[in-house]
Structure 1
Amino acid sequence: MYQRKRRRPVSDINVVPYIDVMLVLLIIFMVTAPLITAGVNVDLPKAEANPLAEDSKPPIVVSVTQDYEYFVTDGSKKDGPLNPSEIATIVAAFLQVEPDRPIMVEGDRKVDYDAVVSLMVLLQKQGVKSVGLMTDPVGEQ
């Protein structure tokens, strides 16, 4: 007589579908990551200046738009529009975590000099020792 063999339950997990999903997600993130940029549209004045060193930490950028709106960008996300007291709080928090991180002021070319100087004084009161001013290279349009 023919005897039936008992099948044992398989305890292995088939991981091939998970690998496929992970590869698709990896491709999606690789394609979309360069497209995600945090920034504020500011028409910078043109000047010949030396850029930041490539090995330096990404700067915290405090921006003033032509509509006198203030923004803080830390390289990954943009906060704003903000009032001056909110800017002071955000910058102070960044400096507590990373005191040697560069601070840059990005002022639209149509903004009064007074607005940029007031922003720099606000940053100085928060303990910022050095503030850089952002410009566009002279040859760029």
Structure 2
Amino acid sequence: MKVGEEGKVYDDINITPMLDVAYVLLLIFIIMTTATVQGITVNLPKASSTPSLSKPKTKAISITKDGTVYLDTYPISLADLETRLGQYKAATPDLPVVVKADAAVQYEKVIEVLDIVTRLEISQLGLVTQKLVK
């Protein structure tokens, strides 16, 4: 321990130099992190036509109260529905399909449509409902 001019004993540690080192290390860490995140600038080549990166268009299957099945807005039989969906699935493997059925439609008709979708292994399937208003 060091004794001061007036005979006082200094028993505390001066942490100012240690804080200076910590701040310098923090500053170096911040600068190095932001330098590595920016990456490398490259001049990208130009293409005459760019491929579409958007999701494929969703196909809507609607079933009316009387049991008529529509693909998008066109009436279609169940056999033709399977053929058309198979063609769309071949063109875009991740084809999204939405089923909209009237509340009064027979349950069997909805199951027939869902069976076709399952046979074609369409995994992106949505069932449209209305929000319950209280």
TM-score class, shorter: 0.5 to 0.7
Q: Which of residues 104, 115, 121 in structure 2 aligns to 1:110?
A: 104
CA distance change for structure 1 residues 63 and 128 in 2, over 3 Å: closer, same or farther? same
Structure 1 residue 57, shift from structure 2 partner: 4.5
Root-mean-square deviation over aligned CA pairs: 2.1
Structure 1 residue 56, shift from structure 2 partner: 5.3
Distance 2:129 2:92 in 1: 24
Greater C-alpha Rg: 2
Distance 1:79 1:126 in 2: 20
Task: Give the structure-2-normalised TM-score.
Answer: 0.54
Distance 2:82 2:119 in 1: 8
Task: Give the structure-1-normalised TM-score.
Answer: 0.51
Percent identity between the two aligned chains? 19
Structure 2 unaligned blocks of 5 or more:
1-53
Match of 2:61 in 1: 62
Query: The residue matched to 2:121 in structure 1 has which SS?
Result: coil
Which runs of structure 2 are paired with 1:9-28 in the superposition (5 Å)? Answer: none
Q: Kindly provide the amino acid, as one letter, of the partner of residue 77 in structure 2.
A: N
Query: The residue matched to 1:114 in structure 2 has which SS?
Result: helix
Q: What is the number of equivalent residue pairs in this alignment?
A: 81
Q: Kindly provide the amino acid, as one letter, of the partner of residue 109 in structure 2.
A: A
Structure 1 unaligned blocks of 5 or more:
1-54
Distance 1:132 1:122 in 2: 14
Q: Which runs of 4+ in 1 moved over 6 A?
A: none
Deviations 1:16-62 (Å, cap 9, x if unpaired)?
Answer: xxxxxxxxxxxxxxxxxxxxxxxxxxxxxxxxxxxxxxx85442111
Q: Which of residues 52, 69, 90 in structure 1 aligns to 2:84?
A: 90
Distance 1:90 1:57 in 2: 15
Distance 1:121 1:130 in 2: 14
Match of 1:18 in 2: none
